[in-house]
């Protein structure tokens, strides 16, 4: 029987988008989070709706770059020595996902989900009257090394093969579009379909307000145990409060692994620790989202200034931030934007929930109960949130989802 009440664990962008779609479909919705709407990883998101990005992190070519990255403790990809043993099982699965056949499957599945991403967001934004907070300026892929520019062309062609508009440009053409780019920039590409939001944190807060205005609830609390019941699920919170629900959605990002294990699902979920700095007065002005694939980070113009962030650090959920990684991001950004001044920026570190094949888990939990998963979106959380919400709403309502969810099932591992 179709449930009437749904509780969502996690008030990040995935959980809140899901709540907004469910409440518009008539469900009684409660979102539970230990911190509050958008206070976790979603707060420092780079703000892109990167629906044109269909390449998984695991690819045959990454092994040419990975050794050099791993030898640099401040590089685009690093593993903290104290976490090397913990991440080994994840890395072995990552190697399996990097074969040509596995990469092809992952690319197709990312493209299917991303194909739903923008229309799904536009439906939510229209209902929220939020479209004026979305910037349709496109994205620039920017390179200062000819060898990296040449390597990028294969990825651009893959995007074109999936129907995306990618226009290769010279260094001069890029500087014509963004005059603050360095004279060292040799070329890149323009992706006009890319867009980004004013501020992902404000989007989270506005989604929460939207849900509450329609009768939904947002409550603080930390789940310490979860279990199935004959009529749905039960959640015990840290302070002892017990919640019974007809349907439960687990959308806790990097903290979802142990909750899924309670329902018999062993998910190879780990966290990519991402760093950024948001500079209110950066000394440079960009209209478009700037991707620096050769350096593994981005520059995103948002309402609060310029956000510079990215890179991947595997170090778990407990280690203290290594703020030298932010200093390294700024130093590399100055190679591309020489007039950048990041002296008074706000530093931040968050936990991207990452699965080796670059695909999230969007499915019912094992055992056929009214427990559903929505986590593991890594770099595509903001991009895929609304699409994930529409898929989950269909599953919870007992309807056929808008895309084939086989690639995202929890039991695929």
Last residue of a domain, one of 316, 331, 354: 354
The answer to whether residue 117 is domain-embedded is: no
The answer to whether the CB of 45 falls within 8 A of the CB of 200 is yes
Whether residue 252 is found in the same domain as residue 400: yes
Considering the domain architecture, whether residues 141 and 243 belong to the same structural domain is answered as no
Do residues 153 and 297 both lie within one domain?
yes
Give the count of beta carbons closer than 10 Å to the beta carbon of residue 225: 13
Handedness of CA 17, 22, 25, 27 (dihedral sign): negative
Over the chain (413 residues), the average pLDDT of each successive run of 10 is 88 98 97 96 94 86 65 78 92 91 94 96 98 96 96 92 94 98 97 96 98 97 93 91 95 96 96 96 97 93 96 92 94 96 95 96 91 96 98 96 97 92
Q: Torsion angle, CA of 209/211/216/221, rounded to 10 degrees?
A: -60
> How high is the pLDDT of residue 2?
73
26: domain range?
5-43+201-266+358-412
pLDDT at residue 19, rounded to an integer: 98
Residue 243 belongs to a domain = yes
| Domain assignment of residue 48, yes or no | no
Does 157 share its domain with 233? no
240 and 370 together in one domain = yes
pLDDT recorded at residue 369: 82
Specify whether the CB–CB gap between 333 and 297 falls below 8 A.
yes
277 and 329 housed in the same domain? yes
CA torsion 384→388→390→393, rounded to 10°? -160
- Which CATH number do you get for residue 39? 3.50.50.60
Residue 215 is assigned to a structural domain of this protein: yes
**Is residue 241, in this structure, part of any structural domain at all?**
yes
- Residue 110 domain flag: no
CB-based contact 3:232 (threshold 8 Å) = yes
Query: Among residues 354, 372, 394, which one ends one of the domains?
Result: 354
List helix spans (H) across 195-238: 200-213
408 and 363 share one domain:
yes
State the total domains in the chain.
Answer: 2
244 and 306 together in one domain: no
- 86 and 143, same structural domain? yes
In this structure, the answer to whether residues 344 and 276 fall within a common structural domain is: yes
- Domain end point (choices 338, 354, 370): 354
Burial class for 133, CB neighbours closer than 10 Å (0-12, 13-18, 19+): middle
Six-digit token string for 330: 């700024």
pTM score: 0.95
Question: How many Cβ atoms from other residues are within 10 Å of residue 316's Cβ?
Answer: 16
Residue 105 belongs to some domain of the structure = no
| Judgement on whether residues 333 and 277 belong to the same structural domain of the protein | yes
Shared-domain flag, residues 161 and 178: yes
Q: Look at residue 112 and tell me if it is in a domain.
A: no
Q: Residue 152's domain is classified under what CATH number? A: 3.30.9.10
């Amino acid at each position: 029987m179709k449930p009437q009440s749904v509780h969502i664990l996690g008030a990040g962008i995935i959980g809140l988008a899901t709540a907004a779609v469910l409440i518009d479909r008539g469900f009684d919705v409660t979102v539970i989070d230990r911190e509050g709407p958008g206070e976790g990883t979603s707060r420092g998101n780079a703000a892109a709706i990167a629906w044109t990005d269909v390449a998984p992190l695991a690819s045959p070519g990454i092994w040419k770059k990975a050794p050099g990255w791993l030898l640099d403790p401040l590089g685009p990809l690093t593993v903290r020595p104290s976490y090397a043993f913990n991440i080994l099982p994840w890395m072995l699965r990552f190697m399996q996902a990097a074969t040509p056949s596995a990469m092809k499957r992952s690319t197709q599945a990312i493209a299917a989900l991303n194909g739903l991403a923008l229309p799904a967001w536009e439906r939510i934004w229209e209902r929220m009257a939020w479209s004026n907070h979305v910037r349709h300026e496109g994205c620039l892929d920017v390179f200062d090394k000819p060898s990296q520019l040449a390597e990028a062309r294969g990825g651009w062609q893959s995007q074109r093969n999936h129907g995306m508009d990618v226009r290769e440009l010279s260094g001069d053409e890029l500087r014509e579009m963004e005059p603050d780019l360095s004279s060292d920039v040799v070329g890149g590409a323009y992706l006009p379909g890319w867009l980004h939001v004013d501020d992902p944190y404000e989007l989270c807060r506005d989604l929460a307000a939207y849900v509450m205005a329609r009768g939904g609830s947002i409550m603080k609390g930390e789940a310490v145990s979860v279990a199935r019941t004959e009529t749905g699920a039960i959640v015990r919170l840290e302070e002892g409060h017990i919640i019974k629900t007809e349907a439960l959605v687990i959308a806790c990002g990097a903290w979802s692994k142990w909750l899924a294990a309670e329902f018999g699902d062993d998910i190879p979920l780990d966290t990519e620790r991402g760093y950024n700095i948001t500079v209110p007065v950066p000394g440079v002005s960009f209209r478009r989202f700037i991707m620096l694939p050769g350096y593994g980070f981005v520059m995103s113009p948002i309402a609060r200034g310029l956000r510079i962030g990215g890179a991947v650090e595997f170090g778990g959920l407990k280690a203290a931030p290594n703020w030298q990684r932010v200093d390294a991001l700024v130093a590399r950004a100055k190679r591309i934007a020489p007039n950048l001044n990041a002296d008074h920026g706000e530093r931040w570190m968050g936990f991207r929930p990452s699965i080796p094949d670059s695909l999230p888990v969007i499915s019912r939990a094992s055992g056929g109960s009214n427990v559903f998963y929505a986590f593991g979106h890594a770099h595509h959380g903001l991009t895929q949130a609304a699409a994930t919400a529409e898929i989950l709403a269909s599953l919870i309502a007992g309807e056929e989802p808008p895309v084939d969810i086989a690639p995202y099932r929890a039991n695929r591992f």
